[in-house]
Structure 1
Amino acid sequence: MVSRDNFTFSELDQWLREHRVTEIECLVPDLTGVARGKILPREKFSEERGMRLPEAVVAMGVTGEFPEEGPYYDVISPNDMDMHLRADPTTVRLVPWAADPTAQIIHDCFDREGRLVPYAPRSVLRRVCGLFAEQGWQPVVAPELEFYLVARNTDPDMPLKPPIGRSGRAETSRQAYSIDAVNEFDPLFEDIYDYCEKMELSVDTLIHEIGAGQMEINFFHGEPLALADEVFFFKRTVREAALRHDMFATFMAKPIAGEPGSAMHVHQSISRAEDGQNLFSLADGSASPEFRWYIGGLQRYVPAAMALFAPYVNSYRRLARNTAAPINIQWGIDNRTVGIRAPLAAAANRRIENRVIGADANPYVALAATLACGYLGLKQRIEPTPECKGDAYLGDYQLPRSLGDALDLLRGARELAEVLGESFVTVYTEIKEIEYAEFMKVISPWEREHLLLHV
């Protein structure tokens, strides 16, 4: 496996020749995590040539809509100007399912003055990591990503169902950690692991989660931007592999009524750049003040960041009492009922797990937001509440219950906006308002069932 740290364009060119690449997918992750961009013949791709796309391509909603007016256009020109894209050579991967040798490369977005476009998801994560670097700190993260396998569904009015496995039957009960339930989909997972190996993604363990057809994949720990890239690639990979086995893979937060939702739990710690030591542990192995302050930052700012962790109306269906998802910002050691968990670990591996984030969150935005909350805790030396040692579900809701409430909190969080970038928060909240307005135009089956003849 070739190390891509500090991969240069000359090394990229050699890599493309060695793999006989004939086509390149030039990718840009947008606010929803969708891959935008262009496909170029190999001979048209070069560092000097670059690529251009309209500024708004990375700043549209999941429905493809844009605001018609308002603060959005204080950030993005109404003239539909171009941004300049530069390939990040360290992100090059093969597209293992392509018929011809094809590479995929993630690009960063710049304006005409050569500055990073501040509302592009990768730019936001780069900005937050830069703030840590200024303090001599290096964030380390490890995402755990849940998803559902479901039978093909081409009618959005029909509920999703678990897919048929090798036995010819669909799951009808919950099979948490069942090896046999995973083996039902061996041909699919063999393809997924084969694709991941060819793409050199650092996936670790695969388990069956609680829900029928619900799976979880864990990633090895590493640098935030590289891990966000891997989650971005992995989502594309799983969806493609599932389609080839006549099923869908979905990262919706709550795809099936009555089943647990899907999360992206993020383990995080901070290393000192000078010696690599874990900032969360003292020399004697005990927890450091920084460990407490980081938790305190999450507790104070996670509610305001919920629109970034739970970005859609559907996201809030997951965050309900006794559904294996948190409803609070309590913290505890080895306690899965809290929103902020500290796993049992040796001092060198002491870390914090943010269990609030949904699988539907954009990985770049979610990692930037959770790190921003922790950063503010460190800078402001915020002390956490006492550890929760019991069942946190017995307490009150401490998180916003809807996307509308979450957007109001995000708009009012000035300190969080200073870390993430005010222009990003402006664009993001304006886009989410458009999505929320689109959702409110839809009449649900529940409303027809219970209100049609009863009110």
Structure 2
Amino acid sequence: MIEADNLISQYESEGINRVKLGFTDIDGVLRGKYISLDKFKSIAAGTAGFCDCVLGWDMDDQLYDNVKYTGWHTAFPDAAFRVDLATERRLQDENNLPFFLVEFVADDGGLHPICPRSRLKHILGVAESMGYLPRLAFEYEFFIFNETAQSVREKNYTDLVPLSPGNFGYSVLRTMTLSDLFNEFMDYCLAHDFPIEGLHCETGPGVWEAAIAVDDALAAADKAVLFKTFAKAFFQKRGMIATFMAKWSMDYPGQSGHVHQSLLSREDGRNVFFDANEPHSMSATMHHYVGGLRR
């Protein structure tokens, strides 16, 4: 178990004056802020508060209609959050600044009713009580443009210039031509603890596809959230933008994000989806699992 005092002592010895915190809102968007090391000292082993408006508005900071948890009717009070010290990353572009994921908690310190990370932990708790260990691996396709956040708005999101023209899925030529960028991006992801096990060009102008390495479900979900925001920041700092929109233009193929799922026995680590004696080696558990997803 990671002790807050040990981390703080380490930061003081390194001359670190602040840390960055991030959490996932109800749309899966990573939000957060910098806090001073003194502030971090006061909350690292306990909880702190953050305005709960972030649990009631959309990606454009517009309030959702007919919400019950928060809104003008509640006056947007602070919601308690807790820093997950096990999620520490060192930000390579910010002089090794510490970064942590946080999660909202209920008033009694338990799981929060609508915080996405709390909801996932609830489901994983159910799986654990049934003797299962879920393992996940996320895979994302995304378009990269030789544009900036300002230029796309000036163009009204039309006539955007892709990183590379035309269709060329799994192109070795493009990965060699852009090898510096490909390798730098993979090193960047590895340094921030969401390593990519596969990266290639997909069909479409400027489309890449990245497969994040498998992990236990909570860690895998954390890595998926971090990957999308950190990837956008990586390209923006280099004069480009990346979008994970499912279909940014009717003129080009859509792009997807999907999750590979495994279910292991907590007792012996065996794959409970597998049964050599059943058709297609699909166990009864796997049939029920797929049925639950389809429902």
User: What TM-score, normalized by structure 2, do the two folds share?
Assistant: 0.88
Q: 2:85 aligns with which of 74, 84, 89?
A: 89
- Greater share of residues in strand: 2
Deviates more, 1:270-279 or 1:59-68: 59-68
- Separation in 2, partners of 1:264, 1:22: 37
Structure 2 match to 1:272: 265
- For the residues of structure 1 that align with 2:221 and 2:81, how far apart are their CA atoms? 19
Residue type of the alignment partner of 1:269: S
Equivalents in 1 of 2:16, 2:51: separation in Å? 27
Shift of 1:44: 2.3
Query: Are 2:190 and 1:190 aligned?
Result: no
Q: How does 1:146-295 map to 2 (within 5 A)?
A: 146-152=141-147, 153-155=152-154, 157-159=156-158, 161-164=160-163, 170-171=164-165, 173-282=166-275, 286-295=281-290
Question: Are positions 1:42 and 2:37 aligned together?
Answer: yes
Q: State yes or no: 1:59 paired with 2:56.
A: yes
Answering whether residue 133 of structure 2 is matched by residue 138 of structure 1, we say yes
List aligned pairs for 1:391-410, cutoff 5 A: none
Asked whether the equivalents of residues 163 and 247 of structure 1 are also in contact (C-alpha less than 8 Å), the reply is no
Mapping of residues 379-418 of structure 1, within 5 Å: none
Extract unaligned runs of 5+ from structure 1. Answer: 1-5, 165-169, 302-455
1-structure distance, mates of 2:16, 2:277: 52
- State the match for 1:31 in structure 2: 26
Would you say the 8 A contact 1:151–1:160 is kept in 2?
no
CA–CA distance in 2 between the matches of 1:240 and 1:49?
Answer: 30
What is the deviation of 1:283? Answer: 6.2
Change (3 A) 1:250 1:104: same
Q: Within 1, Cα distance between the matches of 2:12 and 2:168? A: 46
Distance, in Å, in 2 between the alignment partners of 1:15 and 1:197 is 22
Alignment check: 8 A CA contact 2:194 2:213 kept: no
Aligned twin of 1:9: 4
Taking the aligned partners of 1:31 and 1:73, their CA distance within structure 2 comes to 14
Shift in Å, 1:244: 2.5
Deviation (angstroms), 1:257: 2.5
Deviation of 1:83 after TM superposition, in Å, equals 1.0
Report percent identity of matched pairs.
Answer: 26
Q: Give me the whole-angstrom Cα distance separating, in 2, the residues matched to 1:192 and 1:17.
A: 30
> 1:320-373 CA distances to partner (integer Å, 9 max, x unpaired)?
xxxxxxxxxxxxxxxxxxxxxxxxxxxxxxxxxxxxxxxxxxxxxxxxxxxxxx
Amino acid at match of 1:86: R
User: Secondary structure of 2:123's match?
Assistant: helix
- In 2, distance between residues paired with 1:17 and 1:144? 38
Residue 79 (structure 1) aligned with residue 78 (structure 2): no
Counterpart residue identity of residue 28, structure 1: F
Any idea what SS the aligned residue of 1:89 has?
strand
What is the distance in 2 between the residues matched to 1:196 and 1:18? 26
Structure 1 residue identity aligned to 2:34: I
Structure 1 residues 217 and 11, CA, compared in 2 at 3 Å: closer, same or farther?
A: farther
Asked if the contact 1:195–1:237 (Cα under 8 Å) also holds between the matched residues in 2, the reply is no
Indicate if the aligned counterparts of 2:111 and 2:122 stay in contact, CA closer than 8 A.
no
Is residue 106–residue 112 contact of structure 2 (8 Å, CA) maintained in 1? yes
Q: Distance in 2 between matches of 1:187 and 1:42?
A: 36
Of 122, 134, 142, the residue aligned with 1:127 is 122
TM-score (norm 1): 0.58
Q: Sort the Cα spacing of 1:74 and 1:235 in 2 relative to 1 into closer, same or farther, 3 A.
A: closer
C-alpha contact (below 8 Å) 1:59/1:119 kept by paired residues: no
